[in-house]
Amino acid sequence: MTEGRVKVNGQVVRELGSKVDPKEDVVTIDDKEFTLNDAPTYLMLYKPAGYLSTMRDPHNRKTVAELVSISQHPGLFPVGRLDADTTGLLLFTTDGDLAQRLLHPSFEKEKSYFARVKGTPTQEELAALKKGVALEDGMTAPAKVRLVKTPSSEKESAWLAAVGPAKGGDSIVELVIHEGKKHQVKRMLEAVGHPVLALFRPTFGPLELTNIEEGKWRYLSSEEIDTLREEVKRQ
Ligand code: URA
């Protein structure tokens, strides 16, 4: 330690007993990163549009890896995917076991989406979405569907703003699904004649996108981690 081989955030530290935050500080020994804490990491990103939900792209397009702190958390990966133009909550973890359980097809978690769509779905079209629509890879499972006219809370106002105002005949639909077919929400709404113009995901299982700005991430609180663990325990 006193030989100057240890650095915290790039600064040599010589004092024995110096304090570091294992989640925040980057500690190196002889310039090699040293992981202080093997406990898994859980964080949520408010994914902006224009980023692929993958840690690496062979074509060098922008990925979510640029937005989270992978150097501090080797092994971090996103749990599931959002399309490049979809915004909202993307969970990241280093906990492969939990991720696998969260994504298991027989126990997919509920995810809600706010979609700004072209035109206004009729009651029949909303009922069809609720019941399940035929996509080329099969019927969708029953979903919760709501035409959102006025936000019911401050939180919902922010979530509605994320898909932009419904103007010029557009409308906003909230869809809650528990499957993860590719482009599912876009394909469901397209199937009933209302293509999606903007898509935002405010929740993932028990998690809600709160206290976070677009493009930023934050660690899950210990309560949020506990609720996630409880959810997968019930499988
Ligand atoms: N459904 C979609 O169509 N796109 C997403 O990004 C997520 C769900």
Given the CA of residue 86, which atom of ligand 1 is nearest to it?
6
223 phi, psi to nearest 5 deg:
-65, -40
Check residue 17 and give its pLDDT: 63
In the block, residue with structure tokens 């993307």: 90
Q: What is the pTM of this model?
A: 0.83
Which CATH fold topology does 6-104+207-233 show? Alpha-Beta Plaits (3.30.70)
pLDDT in tens, 99-120: 998 888 777 789 999 999 999 9
Please report where in the chains the tokens 């640029």 appear, as a residue.
66
Q: What are phi and psi of 134, to 5 degrees?
A: -85, 120
Structure token digits, residue 44: 């949520």
Decide: 229 and 40 in contact? Cβ < 8 Å. Answer: no
Nearest residue by C-alpha to atom 3 in ligand 1: 183
Kindly write down the DSSP assignment for every residue of 64-116, as one continuous string: GGGTS-TTTSTT-EESS---TT-EEEEEEES-HHHHHHHH-GGGPPPEEEEEE
Pair 68, 74: CB distance under 8 Å:
no
The pLDDT of 61-86, averaged and rounded, is: 94
Give the distance (Å) from ligand 1 centre to CA of residue 64. 16
CA distance 132 to 212: 33
Ligand 1 atom at shortest distance from the alpha carbon of 188 = 3
Residue 232, pLDDT > 70, answer: yes
Ligand 1 interacting residues, C-beta cut-off 6 A: 82-83, 86, 183-186, 199
Contact 76, 94 (CB under 8 A): yes
For domain 111-204, say whether CATH 3.30.70.1560 is its number: yes
- Mean pLDDT, to the nearest integer, of 204-233? 94
Residue extent(s) of CATH 3.30.70.1560 domains in the chain: 111-204
Query: What percent of the chain has a predicted confidence (pLDDT) above 70?
Result: 93
Q: Which ligand 1 atom is at minimum distance from the Cα of 180?
A: 8
C-alpha 7 – ligand 1 centre gap (Å): 43
**Could you tell me where in the chain the CATH 3.30.70.580 domains are found?**
6-104+207-233
Strands, E assignment, the chain: 6-8, 11-12, 27-29, 32-33, 42-47, 77-78, 87-93, 111-117, 134-135, 138-139, 144-148, 171-177, 196-204, 207-208, 217-219
Catalytically active residues are 83
